[in-house]
C-alpha cells in the first residue's frame, strides 16, 4: 500500500477517501508542521499533501527518495520548489477552478468594503465614537462609471472582471503581453500596459501568481503612478506588493486606500499598516468558505490518487 503524509487535518469526508486507498500519516498539530519533522516524516512517503504555509524546498524533496507527487491544497505554489521537484520527476499539483468564484466574490467584498469604509466605520462604532448620522459623515466613493484595473487576467482575474458590470464599472486589464499587441483581445475588456492601467484605474486588483517576475510588481514607483483617488486590492500573494512602500504611500495619501488579504511575511504584517485608517486588513481568507476549502482538499486528494494509480494528475502545475 502506498503511503501519504498529510501536513494538516483535512475535512473528514476527504480524509476517509484517502484512508481507503493509502496508508495515511496525518500531522495533527494546530500550526504548520516544523521543518525537521516534515523532513523526517516524508522520508518514506510516496505522496505529500501540503498547505501553502509549508515550505517544500530542496531539503524536503531530497529527504523523500520515494516521493511521486506533492499536492498543494492551494492554487498558488510559490511555497514549493517546482523546478527542482520536476527535475526529480515529482509531480506538483494545485487546486485551480474550485476556488475561482469564492475568491472573486471575496475580492468584490474587499472592493465594496474599502470604497465604502466599512471596517473604518465599524472600528469607530466599536470605540464608542459615533455621534450620529450626518450628511457629510464618513463619505465613501462610488464605483459606477469608474475603471477597474485587473492585473493578471487568469481564471480569477476574469471572474472578478465578470462581476464588474453589476457595479457599473468598466474593466481594463494587463496580462502577459497586454498593451503590446501580442495579447488576444478579450471582448469588452481593455488591454493596457501596467503603467497605463495604474495611471487610469480607480480600483486596481491584483491576480497574478507570485514569481520572480511579479515580486514587488507594485513597488514605490508603481504606487506613485496611481490616482490619489484610487484603491489597491490584493488577494493574490503578499510579496507582489512592496509592503513597506505601500505603508509609506498610504501614509502620504498617494492613493485613497487599500484592502489586503495577503502579506509579505504572513502571519506578520508591516507594523505601520494596522495604525492606518485607509487600509482594510483581513487574514488570508479569500478562498475561505467551507464549500471551497472542502473542494480544494478533495481535488488535492484526487491528484494524489491519480498519481499513485499511475495516471496523470488532474491539475498539474506547469
Q: How far is the CB of 187 from ligand GLV (least distance, A)?
A: 28
**CB count, 10 Å around CB of 153?**
22
Q: According to the binding rule CB under 6 A, does residue 203 interact with ligand GLV? A: no
Q: How far is the CB of 227 from ligand GLV (least distance, A)?
A: 28
Q: How far is the CB of 209 from ligand GLV (least distance, A)?
A: 9
Return left, alpha or beta for 97; rule: phi > 0 is left, psi -120 to 50 is alpha, else beta.
Answer: left
Could you give the string, one character per residue 44-83, with x where binding to ligand GLV holds by CB under 6 A and - elsewhere? Answer: --------x---------------------xxx-------
Number of residues written out for the chain: 318
Q: How far is the CB of 141 from ligand GLV (least distance, A)?
A: 27
Query: How is residue 300 written as a grid cell?
Result: 488535492
- Of 22 and 48, nearer to ligand GLV (C-beta) is 48
Going from the C-alpha of 129 to that of each of 27, 113, 121, 125, 136, the distances in angstroms are 46, 20, 10, 6, 16
- Of 21 and 285, nearer to ligand GLV (C-beta) is 285
| Catalytic annotation, residues | 237, 266, 284
- Of 157 and 179, nearer to ligand GLV (C-beta) is 157
Closest CA to 230 of 195, 200, 192: 200
Could you identify the residue written with the cell 483535512? Answer: 10
Give the Cα separation of 19 and 23 in Å (integer): 6
Window 267 to 296, contacts with ligand GLV (CB under 6 A): 287
Window 90 to 109, contacts with ligand GLV (CB under 6 A): 99
- Of 287 and 315, nearer to ligand GLV (C-beta) is 287
Q: How far is the CB of 210 from ligand GLV (least distance, A)?
A: 9
Q: How far is the CB of 100 from ligand GLV (least distance, A)?
A: 10
Query: How is residue 201 written as a grid cell?
Result: 484605474
Name 298's Cβ contacts closer than 8 Å, sequence gap at least 6: 11, 13, 14, 17, 98
Closest CA to 35 of 71, 60, 69: 60
CA angle at residue 63 from 264 to 23, to 5 degrees? 100
Query: How is residue 88 written as a grid cell?
Result: 526529480
- Of 226 and 286, nearer to ligand GLV (C-beta) is 286
- Of 256 and 296, nearer to ligand GLV (C-beta) is 296
Name 169's Cβ contacts closer than 8 Å, sequence gap at least 6: 143, 144, 145, 146, 147, 148, 202, 203
Chain residues in the site for ligand GLV (CB under 6 A): 52, 74-76, 99, 287
Amino acid at each position: 500500500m502506498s503511503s501519504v503524509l498529510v501536513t494538516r487535518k483535512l475535512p473528514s469526508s476527504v480524509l476517509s477517501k484517502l484512508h481507503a486507498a493509502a496508508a495515511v500519516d496525518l500531522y495533527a498539530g494546530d500550526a504548520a508542521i516544523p521543518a525537521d519533522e516534515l523532513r523526517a516524516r516524508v522520508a518514506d512517503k510516496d505522496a505529500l499533501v501540503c498547505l501553502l504555509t509549508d515550505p517544500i524546498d530542496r531539503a524536503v524533496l531530497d529527504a523523500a527518495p520515494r516521493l511521486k507527487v506533492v499536492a498543494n491544497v492551494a492554487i498558488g505554489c510559490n511555497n514549493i520548489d517546482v523546478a527542482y521537484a520536476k527535475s526529480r520527476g515529482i509531480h506538483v499539483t494545485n487546486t485551480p477552478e474550485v476556488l475561482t468564484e469564492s475568491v472573486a466574490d471575496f475580492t468584490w467584498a474587499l472592493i465594496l468594503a474599502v470604497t465604502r469604509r466599512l471596517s473604518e466605520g465599524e472600528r469607530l462604532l466599536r470605540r464608542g465614537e459615533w455621534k450620529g448620522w450626518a450628511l457629510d459623515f464618513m463619505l465613501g466613493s462610488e464605483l459606477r462609471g469608474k475603471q477597474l484595473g485587473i492585473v493578471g487576467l487568469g481564471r480569477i482575474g476574469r471572474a472578478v472582471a465578470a462581476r464588474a458590470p453589476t457595479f457599473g464599472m468598466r474593466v481594463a486589464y494587463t496580462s502577459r503581453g497586454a498593451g503590446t499587441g501580442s495579447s488576444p483581445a478579450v471582448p469588452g475588456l481593455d488591454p493596457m500596459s501596467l503603467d497605463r492601467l495604474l495611471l487610469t484605474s480607480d480600483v486596481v486588483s491584483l491576480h497574478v501568481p507570485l514569481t520572480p517576475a511579479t515580486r514587488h510588481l507594485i513597488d514605490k514607483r508603481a504606487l506613485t503612478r496611481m490616482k490619489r483617488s484610487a484603491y489597491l486590492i490584493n488577494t493574490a500573494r503578499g510579496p507582489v506588493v512592496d509592503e513597506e512602500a505601500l505603508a509609506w504611500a498610504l501614509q502620504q495619501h498617494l492613493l485613497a486606500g487599500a484592502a489586503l488579504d495577503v502579506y509579505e511575511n504572513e502571519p506578520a504584517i508591516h507594523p505601520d499598516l494596522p495604525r492606518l485608517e485607509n487600509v482594510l486588513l483581513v487574514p488570508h481568507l479569500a478562498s475561505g468558505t467551507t464549500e471551497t476549502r472542502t473542494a480544494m482538499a478533495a481535488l488535492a486528494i484526487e491528484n494524489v490518487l491519480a498519481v499513485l494509480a499511475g495516471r496523470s494528475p488532474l491539475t498539474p502545475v506547469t
